[in-house]
Amino acid sequence: MQKTEFLLSLDELLELEPGTVKGSETLESLEGWNSLAIISLMALMDERFGVTLQPRRIAACTTVADLVALLDDKIA
How far, in Å, CA of 49 to CA of 32, rounded? 24
- Kindly give, in sequence order, each residue whose CB lies less than 8 Å from that of residue 21, ignoring residues fewer than 6 positions away: 7, 10, 11, 14, 30, 64
Single residue of 10, 21, 30, 58 touching other proteins by CB under 8 A:
58
Residue 55 contacts other proteins per CB under 8 A: yes
C-beta closer to other proteins: residue 19 or 55:
55
State CA 64 to chain mean position distance: 7
C-beta closer to other proteins: residue 4 or 36:
36
Q: Which residues bind other proteins (CB under 8 A)?
A: 34-36, 38-39, 42-43, 46-47, 52-55, 58-59
